[in-house]
Structure formats: structure tokens, C-alpha cells
Chain A
Amino acid sequence: MTTLETQQRGLLAIIKNRPVDTKADAWLERIAGSRQAAMVSEIALWWRRFQIESQCRYTSRLLKRLGIYQLEVQKYFESAAASPYIEKLATGFLRSLTSHAEPLVASVAKFELACLAVNESVKRSRIVWDRNPETTIRALEQLTDLPPAEIGHFYSMELGLDIPGRVACSRFSHP
């Protein structure tokens, strides 16, 4: 491995908070844990947060409301190869949340992902919600209180080019 490769691979690991053998290179040893390297990471994260917020309007608002927006962007940035292209960054981030432990986060991320894809794909997307999606999205849009989860019920939403108005939603009771 050349010095350049060692330094660049090491810096990538430092910026992304991944394990790195700093003993392999004096420069890596010097910058690991430095305030300068922390600043580089902070700038990279700041840009990712800014870009994601502009593309993933509802998901970012929900995550902020839950107080986990910075954490989720950081987790994604550190674990994934986040694209410099905003469209790919947004879809990658939303995909990373589709199996989130908080069901509402997963539903809103799937909804935004489906909205981004609805004009480009003939495939339908189905999203299950634990509360009324319309009032949820309106609350995120208007920054008002979220509706509560409806115990014993769920909503099944479908998005697709072949659906009149491109979206349909029904409320069901759990069997």
C-alpha cells in the first residue's frame, strides 16, 4: 500500500468514526482525535444534514421532533457510502430508516421514498401506518401535534401511477 493510499483510507475511517490503525502512519496518528479532524467531520455532517433536510421534508421534521435527527444522519453518514448527489443521498438515507425501531419513522420514511419514486416506477408501494397518515403528514407540514397511534387499528396506504390521484388509503382493524 502506498503512503497516499494509507493516508486516504485512514482519513476516511477517521472522518467516518470507524476503526483505524493510526500506528500505520505518523500523520494519521497526529490527526486522529485532533480538533482539526473533528472540524472536518462536523462540516461533512453539517452538509449532509442540510441536504437531507431539503429533500426529506417530513422525515427530517419527524426526526427533529423526536430529537434524533442529528443522531440518525450521523449514523447513516458513518455507516454508509453517502452519495454526494442529493437525490441519491436522500433515497439512501430514507432506505436506512425503513426498518427503524420507531414504527412512525419507518412509515414516514417509506412514504417519502414512495413519493420520490412514484413518477419513475410502475411498481406500487404499500405503507402501513399505526395512525392516520393524512393527519400525520399535515401535522408535520404545519408543525402541529402529531395524532396518536390508534391501538387496534392500522392504515394501509398504496402509492402508484395507476391509482387515481396516485394514492389510496384504507383503515383496518387488527384481526
Chain B
Amino acid sequence: MVSLNLAAKARPALATTYEGVGLDLLHRITPLVDYLEIPPDSIARADGTTENLRPELLEAIACVAPPLKLIAHGVGLSIGSFDGWNENYLRLLDQLFHRFPLEWHSEHLAYTTVAGENLGAMIAMPRTEETLDLICHRVQRLQARYGVPFLLEHVIHLLPDPHCHYTNAAFLNAITAQTGCGLILDAYNLECDRHNQGLDIPAFLDELNLEPVRELHIAGGTMHNGFQLDIHSRPTAESTLALALDIIARSPNLRVVTYEFLKEAIPALGHDGICGELARIRKAISQ
């Protein structure tokens, strides 16, 4: 029965990040992917006191979309800040929605801002009843505001957890059950959590309701001082790709696999390296 189900399931589409660097790279990756993942924060410029999307980058995106479909993936919303999210990020997202049709948008289940001050880091939420209420309320507001699916992505835990009422998977299950939002799973983030916090990935996946998983992220990162870090600057490791294929096989509604890399990593990865990575991932997820 399982193999019949898998046989009937469509192969996931392929996406990659576009942070506004390198028109020549954008044109090289366009024939290799189906979607572009746009982080609104990364294609914005601060003009005086406000931030706006850079018109020249919107034009560059317009040249490739269509044929490519677009998804937005935020970094700066800070959906979990105790004192409210970043309205500036939503203004950027409004601008992106105004300019392009987006298939869905997403954010990290985390906070980057405290009392209006940027932490310089993205911190995972404590998995408590208090946090659950806060996140679900904000997810529902986002769903009402934009009218397209909203997805949350788990982030790596560099810090040990505070006292929690939920396991990692149970917390995500509670959010998706209460709000109907989707999920992004990040295979590399799971590997980081296994290395840094001892996460039992098979147990996590067994407990997680995989039906809301619409997107899967893969990337390669770095080790530093004994920590495995989510600095997306390397090709995808074979172990990450193998985990990704396992998640793909188990997630009935997964639509897109996204290879993420930081714009700062482009010189090290090289255009040929990025294109080669996309071809490699495409081949793996198409089998």
C-alpha cells in the first residue's frame, strides 16, 4: 500500500534561494529550478528611516517569474517576540505580494527581536502553552491578512531548551492542528539539532504529523568550536540528502524542495558549484 501511494505521488518541484545577488547567477539557475524562494528582508534597502524592496531586484525577478513560481521566506518577522512582531517586515511582504503572485509565504518559528532590539541571532521558541497561544494567534492573523498558505519552519537550537510542555514534534503538531498552517522541514537543521542537542530524528519524524509539510529545505553548513551551524555555505552533505529523501517519501503533501545558500557564500560555492548542486538535487528527488 505504501509503495502504491508513493508511486502515485507527484515528484516535488525544486526551488532555490534568491537574495538579490548576481543577475548572471539568476539567469543560470532559472532553467534549473521551478520556484524561487525570495527572502523579502534580503532584497530590501533601508532608505532613511524605512525599508523598501529594491526596484531593480523586483525587475530582475520579474524577468524570470514566470516561468518560475515565487515563494516568500522571511527572516525578520520575529513571530515569537513577546512584545509583537516586526511591522517593518510585513510592509516588505506587502510590497512583494503587491508586485507578484506568491504561492505561499513562510517564516521561522523563532524570535530575532526583543523589545524592539535585534538580537543578531535567531532563537528557537520555548515550547510552552504561553508560546503556543501567542504563535497560533499570530499565524491566524497572517493567514487572514494574505489569504495564501502560511508555513512555519523549525530552527536550530543552539541553546538548551527552557522548561517545555511539548516535545519538538508535538509543538509543531499543536500549531498546525490549531491553525491549519503548513510546515517547512529543514533536513540540515534537524542534523544540527542531532549534533548539538542530541535530537532523535527518527523519533521526531515518527511523532510529527507530516501532512502539513509542504516544503523541505536542504543546505550544507559548517562546524565551529564543536557546534554544527546553520550557516548555509556548503554543498549538501550526502547524509542531508538521504534524510531529505526519507522525508520526501513520508510527506504526502510536500510540494517543493528548496536548496538554500547564503549570498555571502556565492564566491565560495561558485556559480558552477551552485548549478551543479541544483542538478544533483534534482536528480536525487526525481528518482
Contact = CB atoms under 8 A, between A and B. Distances in A.
Most chain A Cβ neighbours within 10 Å, of B82, B126, B163: B82
A70 B142 CA distance: 39
Nearest to A31: B159
Interface residues of B, number: 38
Contact of A82 (B83, B116, B118): B118
Nearest to B89: A84
B159 A36 contact: yes
A150 B99 CA distance: 55
B51 interface: yes
A39 B120 contact: no
A5 B84 CA distance: 11
Interface stretch (A8-16, A106-114, A135-143, A154-162): A8-16
A87 B41 CA distance: 12
B131 interface: yes
A6 B130 CA distance: 13
Interface stretch (A41-49, A93-101, A123-131, A167-175): A41-49
Given A43-B229, A120-B48, A11 B158 contact: no
B163 A26 contact: yes
A15 B120 contact: yes
A7 B126 contact: yes
Nearest to B76: A84
Contacts, number: 96
B85 interface: no
Interface string A33-70: 01111011011110110100000000000000000000
Contact of A9 (B48, B115, B126, B134): B115
Contacts of A2: 82, 130
Contact of B162 (A27, A77, A83): A27
Interface size class of A (residues with CB under 8 A): 35 or more
B130 A3 contact: yes
Nearest to A5: B82
A84 B118 contact: yes
B83 A5 contact: yes
Interface in A71-100: 77, 81-88
A118 B97 CA distance: 32
A22 to B, nearest CB: 13
Interface centre among A35, A36, A48, A85 (most CB of B within 10 A): A85
B146 to A, nearest CB: 22
Given A15-B121, A31-B160, A87 B46 contact: yes
Contacts of A9: 114-115
A95 to B, nearest CB: 14
Contacts of B160: 27, 30-31, 34, 36
A81 B116 contact: yes
A95 B131 CA distance: 38
Contact of B158 (A36, A81, A85): A36
9 contacts: A9-B115, A11-B119, A27-B162, A35-B225, A36-B159, A43-B120, A44-B121, A81-B118, A85-B45
Given A27-B163, A40-B158, 19 more contacts: A4-B126, A11-B119, A11-B123, A15-B119, A26-B162, A27-B126, A30-B160, A34-B159, A36-B227, A37-B159, A39-B227, A40-B159, A43-B121, A43-B158, A43-B231, A81-B116, A81-B117, A82-B118, A85-B44
Interface of B: 41, 44-48, 51, 76, 81-83, 111-112, 114-121, 123, 126, 128, 130-131, 134, 158-160, 162-163, 224-225, 227, 229, 231, 264
Interface of A: 2-5, 7-9, 11-12, 15, 25-27, 30-31, 34-37, 39-40, 42-45, 47-48, 50, 77, 81-88, 120
